[in-house]
Chain A
Amino acid sequence: MTAQIRKLAVWVEETHREMGREIAPPTRKAVAVAVIANPFAGRYEEDLSPLTQTGAELGGLLGEKCVAALGIAPEAAESYGKAAMVGENGELEHAAAILHPKLGAPLRKAVEKGAALVPSTKKMGGPGQDLDVPLGHKDAAYVRSHFDGVEVRMNDAPRANEILVAVAVTDSGRPLPRVGGLTAEDAEGTDGLR
């Protein structure tokens, strides 16, 4: 592991009831977070490839933690997402270096398949700030029932020289989906879109 990890956290939420209706089985979302040292805090660095390597490592580690926390087989994962928040001495581009070039492949391995783009968000921020991780169906981005998001927040991270990296995995869509569109059952899941 090239990343210097200070802290790991995993959040699992189950929704058993929505608007008075029982949700059985409950919809479930997991988010795994790593708080890492930012090797480029406080200075401009042209070559961000070390952070890209960190992204590859964290995609696997955090994806596996989510799947384990849900207690599911990898292929039972239905949607995913990723996000990063860079502490104040860093640069937004640091989040991009972690998230985009190499994080996806090991995450897809952790959830088996994953033909669709991994939806993402990024921002600069500080301890206690909210980060909304977008969620989309892992094999067909247009599956409307699985457009969702999950909020993460840590009171003590990211500090100025840290980066908070989050990966989310679910075994379900929204609790009571009823706005139409492509359904998970109808999706082919070969082109990543439909």
Chain B
Amino acid sequence: MPDLPPEIELRKLVTVTEEIRHEGGPPPAHPLHRAACLAVIANPFAGGYVEDIQPFMEPLRALGLLIADRLIAALGGADRVEGYGKGAIVGSAGEVEHGALWHVPGGYAMRDRLGGAKAIVPSTKKVGAPGTRLDVPITHINASYVRGHFDAIEVGLNDAPRATEMVLALSMTTGGRIHDRVGGLKASEIKGEDGLR
């Protein structure tokens, strides 16, 4: 069992990696690599309304770091990571607000492990059932407006989230879309100071 606080009741961990060589156009010199990692954990607030849910963000920090480290390892090192995103699917006995608990521990885990990435981590979340798919948005780690890095990765698994569970996801990529050609701010042009440009 990974080293996690007792509040985190982990049932499953899933890591998916993709190597995209082309999408019908000329294959670039280096394939695009994308990875996502999903943790299936018990939702401690399932089944009823709880007003004060913020204390659960603290134990989630360890889970965020665990997942961030796995993604970095899957992509071959922090210096290769250019894009990121996060998301949550809350089982049907919970509420979407429970998924919002993942924003800080999930996002800052990646930003810390990537050496203080500047850009906000794009996210999405919803309530769902086993088999529900989530399209996790992805943007550049230091400048949100880099157009070539606007991307998304679909995640989900057949047996989660059960009603009293949550699926918490993080994603990282090594670059922009494989045939990026719609202009806008380029990664090579960013200042990387304000997290936007």
Contact = CB atoms under 8 A, between A and B. Distances in A.
Contact of B13 (A13, A22, A130): A13
A12 B21 contact: no
Interface string B15-28: 11111111110000
Nearest to B33: A8
Nearest to B153: A155
Interface in A60-77: 69
Size class of the A contact interface (CB-based, 8 Å)? 20 to 34
B104 interface: no
A16 B21 contact: no
A16 B12 CA distance: 5
B11 A12 contact: no
18 contacts: A6-B21, A7-B19, A7-B21, A10-B16, A12-B14, A12-B15, A13-B13, A13-B157, A15-B11, A16-B1, A16-B11, A17-B10, A17-B11, A17-B12, A22-B1, A69-B15, A130-B158, A153-B156
Interface in A1-42: 5-18, 22, 24, 26
A49 B17 CA distance: 30
B157 A17 contact: no
A14 B19 CA distance: 21
Nearest to B10: A16
A15 B11 CA distance: 6
B62 to A, nearest CB: 14
Interface of A: 5-18, 22, 24, 26, 69, 130, 151, 153, 155-156
Contacts of A153: 156
B14 A9 contact: no
A11 B157 CA distance: 11
Contact of B133 (A14, A18, A155): A155
Nearest to B11: A17
Contacts of A151: 157-158
B18 A16 contact: no
B18 A9 contact: yes
Contacts of A5: 21
Query: 5 closest pairs, A vs B, by CB?
Result: A8-B19, A17-B11, A155-B154, A13-B14, A9-B18
B194 interface: no
B22 A6 contact: yes
Nearest to B16: A11
B18 A8 contact: yes
Contact of B18 (A7, A69, A130): A7
A5 to B, nearest CB: 6
A10 B17 contact: yes
Interface in B141-167: 154, 156-158
Contacts of A155: 133, 154
B58 interface: no
A154 to B, nearest CB: 8
Contacts of B158: 130, 151
Nearest to A31: B16
B9 interface: yes
A153 B24 CA distance: 20
Given A6-B22, A151-B158, A156-B23, 8 more contacts: A6-B23, A7-B18, A7-B20, A9-B18, A11-B14, A17-B12, A18-B11, A151-B157
A21 B18 CA distance: 32
Contacts of B10: 16-17
